[in-house]
Amino acid sequence: MNLVSVIMPAFNTQETIATSASSVLAQSHRSLELLIIDDGSTDSTVSISQHLSRQDERVRVIRQEKNGGVAMARNRGIEQARGRYIAFLDADDLWMPDKLERQLAMMHQHNALACMSAYYRFRVQGHWLAVTRPPARITYEGLLKGNVVGNLTGIYNCEVLDKVFQRDVLHEDYLMWLEIAHMAGEILAVCVPLAAYRVGQISLSSDKIRSVKGTWDIYHKHLSLSAAHSAYLMSHYVVKAIYKRL
């Protein structure tokens, strides 16, 4: 009844996937399946994943011959998920050992359908740069003002909400969690770090402009909000981005 399907897209992640997968398999909550979706890797990602599946029957490897992008890879995993709950972890990030146990306990206690947590940011494992802490709960209206759900921390009850797929857009995870929050009513948070996000290279200015445009498209194009409402929400997005940078 409490089986958790963990969706892990992987593309050329031979340096990190074993550690990331191990952090899932070492969970104190043992009832889980790890779906590794190889997205057309050209390195040793597939062989490492297959080795993991031979070592632990909870690991399933799904191969895509061609790279289709992270949304498509996650959707392949979601399609084949058998769990009551769906959670996500990329193949270079980490979970703390009690991540699922603590979130499921909170969801059961409050009869909640979705949950997130705080998470560390790091470049070198064990040397945490900072902690990102979400509010104790967020509604759909609050989430519209800026994404506070770290995708590596999110988990939702797909038995009640049904499976929610990602669209092939920029900030695909943000759009998915907006849809989940809308159906669930709110997303609760465990406000201690239960995961760790690997920080990549500093974004270029062009990437930041693209990110702003992607957020605008979510509001105005994909959610069909008015231009005025979208502009209002964008003002919150920009303020939060500046605050985060400071």
Gap between the Cα atoms of 94 and 217, Å rounded: 30
Looking at residue 202, its pLDDT comes to: 53
What burial class does residue 225 get, using C-beta atoms within 10 Å of its C-beta: 0-12 exposed, 13-18 middle, 19+ buried?
middle
Looking at residue 201, its pLDDT comes to: 59
Looking at residue 200, its pLDDT comes to: 82
Say if pTM beats, i.e. exceeds, 0.85.
yes
Q: What is the pLDDT of residues 50-79, one digit of tens each?
A: 999 999 999 999 999 999 999 999 999 999
Looking at residue 60, its pLDDT comes to: 98
Looking at residue 72, its pLDDT comes to: 97
* Mean confidence (pLDDT) of the chain: 94
Q: What is the pLDDT of residues 151-186, one digit of tens each?
A: 999 999 999 999 999 999 999 999 999 999 999 999
Looking at residue 231, its pLDDT comes to: 95
* Amino acid at the residue 167: R
Closest CA to 90 of 42, 54, 39, 124: 39
Looking at residue 206, its pLDDT comes to: 60
Looking at residue 93, its pLDDT comes to: 98
CA 110-112-137 angle, 5° bins: 85
Tell me if 156 sits within 8 A of 164, measured CB to CB.
yes
Gap between the Cα atoms of 109 and 38, Å rounded: 36
Looking at residue 53, its pLDDT comes to: 98
* Largest separation between any pair of C-alpha atoms in the chain: 54
Positions of the chain with pLDDT under 50: none
Helices assigned H by DSSP within the chain: 17-25, 45-55, 70-80, 99-110, 140-144, 158-161, 172-184, 205-217, 227-245
